[in-house]
Amino acid sequence: MSDMSKVFSAHAVSVDGYISGRTPDGVDDFGRGLGDAGMLFDWYFDGDTPSQVFGGFKLSEPSARFFDVVADRVGATVSGRTTYEHSSHWGGGGPQPTAPLFVLSHRPAPEISEKQTLVTTGIEDAIAAARAAAGDKDVAIMGGGALTSALAADLVDEVILHQVPVLLGGGRSFFQAVPKHVNLRLLTAIAAPGVTHLHYEVVR
Ligand SMILES: NC(=O)c1ccc[n+]([C@@H]2O[C@H](COP(=O)([O-])OP(=O)(O)OC[C@H]3O[C@@H](n4cnc5c(N)ncnc54)[C@H](OP(=O)(O)O)[C@@H]3O)[C@@H](O)[C@H]2O)c1
C-alpha cells in the first residue's frame, strides 16, 4: 500500500443531482439501473477521440483528455451493492478490466465471482482491502450510497462530477445524508461538449 494512494469517485450526474433516472414502470432491476437517464453517458461516444483506456469509447478531445487521466488512476474499485446489481454484476469481472472489484453490502452475494470480492464488514474494510490491491494506484468508489458512506467515514480524498446539462426530475440522488458538512475545493472545471468535468478535493 502506498501513502500516496487516493480514494476518489467519478460519476456522471444531472444538474439536479441524479446518477440514474426513472424506469417507465417504476421497476428497478438488473441492467436497467439508469432508467431514462442513458443520456448521462452520451459523452462517452459523441466525439472522435478514442479513449486509450476503455476500448470503444470515442469522446470529444477535452473529455478524452480528462477521462483517460482519471480512468488510468484506478487500481481497484469499491462498488455499492445496488450499482453492482444494476450493472449485471459486470459479467463476473469489474467496471475496469485491470482493477479488482470489491462489492460493499450487508448481505451475502451468492452471485459473486472468484474475480470479485464481497465485503460485508463495512466501508472501512472495503477501502482498506481495495487500497491493498491497488498498490500505487488509486481506489475508485462507485454508487451514491457507497460514496456517502465513505464520505461519512472521512475516507474520500476527491470527488469528480461529470455534470451533464439535463434536469432529470427523479431517479436516484447522488449524495445521500452526510452526517456533517463536507467542504469541497474545486481543483479543475473543464467545459466539454455535452458535459462539464468538475474535479473537487475534500477539504479536511
Ligand atoms: N451516473 C453514474 O456515473 C453512476 C455510477 C455508478 C452507479 N450509478 C447508478 O447508481 C445507482 C446505484 O447507486 P445507489 O446510491 O442507489 O447505490 P450503491 O451505492 O451502488 O449501493 C448501495 C448499497 O451498497 C451497500 N452499502 C452502502 N454502504 C454500505 C456500508 N457502509 N456497509 C455495507 N454496505 C453498504 C448497501 O447494500 P445492501 O443493501 O446489500 O446492504 C446499500 O444498499 C444505480 O442505478 C447505478 O446504475 C450511476
**CATH of residue 44:** 3.40.430.10
Query: Which of 7, 22, 104, 147 is the pocket-test mutation for ligand 1 (most atoms within 8 Å of CB)?
Result: 104
Nearest to 170 by CA among 29, 36, 43: 36
Look at the chain and report how many structural domains it folds into.
1
Q: Residue 62 has which C-alpha cell?
A: 477535452
| Average pLDDT per consecutive 10 residues, the chain (204 residues; last block may be shorter) | 80 96 65 81 97 95 98 97 92 92 97 97 98 97 97 97 95 87 97 98 96
101-104 and 116-119 as β-strands: parallel, antiparallel, unpaired? parallel
What b-and-e string marks burial along 106-125, b requiring 16 or more CB atoms within 10 Å of the CB? eeeeeebeeebbbbeeebee
Residue 2 counted as domain residue: no
Residue 1 counted as domain residue: no
CA nearest ligand 1 atom 40, residue: 105
* Ligand 1 mean position, distance from CA 129 (Å): 18
* Ligand 1 mean position, distance from CA 135 (Å): 24
Range of the domain at 168: 7-23+31-202
For residue 33, give Cα distances in angstroms to 7, 86, 104.
24, 5, 17
Query: Which of 23, 96, 106, 161 is the pocket-test mutation for ligand 1 (most atoms within 8 Å of CB)?
Result: 106
Distance CA 177, CA 166 (A): 23
Residue 73 counted as domain residue: yes
DSSP letter at 189? Answer: E
pTM, 2 dp:
0.95
Residue 70 counted as domain residue: yes
